[in-house]
């Protein structure tokens, strides 16, 4: 069975590049890996970068995620194996609906071939953005003080929006946050890697899990950076009692 989604705004461009269906995309994605394949869940999952050429000669970078037998069972569909890329695709589409900045999906498809469950997700490259773990932003002290403050506030607002809709990223590390500096000195930020993201009816669980993951592994962030993030996230000028308790626990785990 094959189930394909093609972004209507990119259908003609994908077709012109011969990348508008599963059969064409699968072998193309066998080029050199952008990231080494992840072998888990009884299968594997890997990413390659490709380039789309437009009719005017311009180009757009895309990422082709390909996986085989890399699936899970949910409590809603316990008897059906679901590709983890399907969950990421659904999350991308939901985030667009909710106005949460993330990735733009161009294609999604899945099929069974020789008894193996295969899936492909194509997303548009975040041109001009860089990972918070990249040389653009790391170590953070290389960024001018006021710029670092604006960046941290932007990140806090992004995570706050995620939790306001009761979503838990579950893998919220600096490498999964991308940012771009605008000409006016402000910043835009987006989430990537939504394979483990899920709706969490108990918002406080999402808050504790994500903030713990982010701040405990935010190497290079000072205690002041963490405090500034919390103040912006809570929209408080001075941390309340509940905020102080949560921040104290995270900083203690962080060991600094």
Q: What is the pLDDT of residues 115-140, one digit of tens each?
A: 899 999 999 999 999 999 988 887 77
Q: How far is CA 47 from CA 4, 66, 115, in A?
A: 19, 6, 22
pLDDT for the residue numbered 251: 72
**Position 150 pLDDT exceeds 50:** yes
The answer to whether domain 130-254 has CATH 1.10.510 is: yes
User: pLDDT per residue over 55-99, tens digit each?
Assistant: 999 999 999 999 999 887 665 665 668 899 999 999 999 999 999
pLDDT for the residue numbered 1: 44
**Position 31 pLDDT exceeds 50:** yes
> What is the distance between the terminal CA atoms of the chain, rounded to a whole angstrom?
52
Cβ atoms of 211 and 169 within 8 Å: the answer is no
pLDDT tier at 34, thresholds 50, 70, 90: confident
**Overall size of the chain counted in residues:** 256
Domain ranges of the chain: 3-124, 130-254
- Write the DSSP string, the chain: --EEEE-TTTHHHHHHTT-SSHHHHHHHTTSS-SEEEEEETTEEEEEEEEEEE-TTS-EEEEEEEEEES-EE--SSSTTS-EEHHHHHHHHHHHHHHHT-----EEEEEEEEETTEEEEEEEEE--TT-EETTSTTTSSGGGS-HHHHHHHHHHHHHHHHHHHHTTEE-SS--GGGEEEEE-TTS-EEEEE---TT-EE-SSHHHHHHHHHHHHHHT-TT--HHHHHHHHHHHHT-SS--HHHHHHHHHHHHHHT-
User: pLDDT per residue over 193-204, tens digit each?
Assistant: 999 999 999 999
What whole-number percentage of the chain has pLDDT above 90? 68
pLDDT for the residue numbered 79: 60
pLDDT for the residue numbered 163: 98
pLDDT tier at 43, thresholds 50, 70, 90: confident
What the block records as the tokens of 163 is 């939790």
Per the DSSP assignment, residues forming a β-bridge with 111 are 118
Q: How far is CA 99 from CA 73, 94, 102, 147, 176, in A?
A: 28, 9, 9, 25, 18
> pTM value?
0.90
**What's the CATH code, domain 3-124?**
3.30.200
pLDDT for the residue numbered 129: 96
pLDDT tier at 223, thresholds 50, 70, 90: confident
């Amino acid at each position: 069975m094959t189930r394909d989604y093609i972004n209507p705004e990119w259908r003609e461009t994908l077709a012109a590049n011969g990348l508008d269906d599963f059969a064409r995309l699968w072998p193309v994605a066998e080029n050199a890996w952008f990231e080494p394949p992840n072998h888990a869940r009884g299968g594997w999952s890997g990413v390659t970068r490709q380039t789309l050429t437009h009719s005017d000669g311009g180009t757009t970078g895309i990422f082709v995620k390909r996986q085989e037998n890399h699936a899970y069972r949910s409590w809603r569909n316990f008897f059906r194996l679901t590709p983890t890329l399907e969950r990421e695709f659904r999350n991308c589409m939901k985030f667009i609906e909710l106005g949460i900045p993330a990735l733009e999906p161009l294609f999604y498809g899945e099929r069974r071939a020789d008894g193996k469950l295969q899936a492909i997700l194509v997303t548009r490259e975040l041109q001009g953005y860089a990972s918070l773990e990249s040389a653009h932003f790391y170590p953070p002290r290389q960024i001018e003080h006021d710029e670092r403050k604006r960046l941290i506030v932007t990140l806090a607002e992004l995570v706050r929006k995620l939790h306001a809709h009761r979503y838990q990223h579950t893998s919220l590390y600096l490498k999964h946050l991308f940012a771009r500096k605008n000409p006016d000195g402000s910043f835009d930020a987006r989430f990537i890697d939504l394979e483990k993201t899920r709706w969490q009816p108990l918002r406080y669980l999402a808050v504790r899990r994500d903030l713990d993951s982010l701040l405990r592994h935010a190497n290079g962030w000072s205690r002041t950076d963490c405090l500034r993030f919390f103040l912006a996230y809570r929209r408080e000028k001075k941390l309340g009692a509940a905020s102080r308790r949560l921040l104290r626990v995270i900083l203690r785990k962080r060991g600094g």
